[in-house]
Chain A
Amino acid sequence: MIKQAPPPAPIVTERKTALERAIEARGEKVYTFPVSGFFGLGSKPILHIGFRMQGSLEDDAAVVAAHKYLDELTRGAGDAGAAARVDGDLLDNAKTVEALWRCTREAEEQPEGSGQWKPTGYPAFMGGARWMREHLTKRELAMLLNLLGEAKRKDGLDRGIAEDIDDGAVEAVAKMCGEHAGNDIPEQMLAGTARHVLTHLVVLLSQKLAAARLSVETLLREQEALEATPPKSAQYPPGPSAGDVVEPKP
């Protein structure tokens, strides 16, 4: 009997464009943050969590998973289910958990004791989105969501796509707020501004205020020093004291 050789494995070459290769070469960006109150296997405290910046396809997958979860949750619930399906809060919470489960990453101190935390590539919550819903409180989820927002802000700044706040913008906002302090124009103007932009504005304005105060204090101190010093015309050179030999001028 002639043994037939197994058919050769098909050669699959994945074609990637230059742009795709460049995007892949950027690598996965993970931002780690210190956390408290989270416990891993063996009740070992989780000290840092990494937040991965994922692609839009994964973002969409999280949204779809949230809808699926809501669909499963409300199936067979009759009218209550129909009402729950259109409940924005419920959907937002589901989206939050799905997004957090996908982007959070376990972080390890490498080398131990160095204070350098690096993501391991494993999910921070191995139990999945369902586990997170069952075991994490709303406060903990909110904290993680805030950190995700912070990671996105950092990523935006790294990519240069976040709103740029230059000195001119800070001056313009300060002028607008100062001129319209008595009415609600500042509130209306700043209502749509992202939280991180507002934070930047407050920090930059505080810096400006501190610098202005320092320069005013310096000016006042100089003024006081000037006032304390008698005018030059009132000053007399010290006369010769007894015992000094006064040489005649040529």
Chain B
Amino acid sequence: MLLDPHPERSLTCRVNGAEDVPLRVRALRGIDKALVEDETARAPEAARDGAFIRGLVAAALWTPEGPAFSSSEAVGALPHPELLELGRHVAEALCVCSPMYCGSDVRAWERTLEEGALTGGNWHETLALASCVDVSLAGIIPRPDRYWGVPLKRLLDGHWMVYRAARAAVEKLKEKKT
């Protein structure tokens, strides 16, 4: 899933009145989450919980035609119980498709991704990822942007985790050989 430039997870739930609109959650960058947190901090203290959920839903929820909501205010049209339900589904999906250095169990993700990188079926991708480097006199410069074909700023935390796992897997293999 994280090998995709835009990792996504489909939701089984639908919004009442829009049952024919499929919903999916798209992985967020760390900065996207930070922006939601900034917006939440600007809201009055008593309304921060709702503001955070609305911001998260607006940032991460997509439909086939694009973002599901044009702004976090637009999410506010949903009644509170529906918002909580949708927010729960979005948060659960983000836990699966959008690991982050701030907030996720990074050690657990790295361990799992390394195990996955060493699995036979993933070898091609592991080698392709691990070879995305620039070699200079200063040493090896990681260039994961080449694998995903996007500028560095568009890479997600999950992409960096996968990349590092691939590099670590190749290094481990080298050590074994020597």
A interface residues (Cβ-Cβ under 8 A, vs B): 15-20, 22-26, 53-61, 63-64, 66-67, 152, 155-156, 159-161
Contacts and interface: CB of A to CB of B under 8 A. Distances in A.
Contact of A55 (B18, B63, B67, B77): B77
A121 B66 CA distance: 34
A15 to B, nearest CB: 6
A110 B66 CA distance: 43
A19 B63 contact: yes
B136 interface: no
A150 to B, nearest CB: 15
Contact of B47 (A25, A64, A159): A64
Contacts of B50: 56-57, 59-60
A55 to B, nearest CB: 4
Contact of B46 (A25, A57, A64): A64
A107 B67 CA distance: 38
A25 B70 contact: no
A18 B47 contact: no
Nearest to A156: B81
Interface residues of B, number: 33
A56 B17 CA distance: 17
14 contacts: A15-B70, A17-B74, A19-B63, A20-B74, A22-B15, A22-B21, A26-B16, A55-B76, A56-B54, A56-B76, A56-B83, A58-B76, A59-B50, A156-B81
A152 B82 CA distance: 12
Among B51, B67, B73, B75, max chain A CB count under 10 A is at: B75
In the A-B complex, the 6 residue pairs with the smallest Cβ-Cβ separation, listed nearest first, are A57-B76, A22-B18, A60-B47, A26-B17, A56-B83, A55-B77
A22 to B, nearest CB: 3
A155 B63 CA distance: 26
A64 B51 CA distance: 12
Interface of A is mostly: helix
Contacts of A160: 16
Interface in B51-79: 51, 53-54, 63, 65-70, 73-79
Contact of B78 (A16, A23, A155): A23
Interface string B82-108: 110100000000000000000000000
Interface string B11-40: 000011110010000000000000000000
B153 interface: no
B124 interface: no
Contacts of B77: 20, 23-24, 55, 57
A57 B85 CA distance: 15
B178 to A, nearest CB: 56
A25 to B, nearest CB: 6
Nearest to B71: A20
Interface string B137-173: 0000000000000000000000000000000000000
A98 to B, nearest CB: 11
Given A23-B77, A56-B54, A161-B81, A16 B70 contact: yes
B82 A161 contact: yes
Contacts of A61: 47
A25 B65 CA distance: 18
A25 B17 contact: yes
Nearest to A21: B18
Given A55-B79, A56-B76, A66-B46, 11 more contacts: A17-B74, A22-B18, A24-B77, A55-B77, A55-B78, A56-B50, A56-B80, A60-B43, A159-B16, A159-B81, A159-B82
B85 A161 contact: yes
Given A26-B17, A56-B54, A161-B85, A20 B70 contact: yes
Given A56-B76, A60-B51, A22 B17 contact: yes
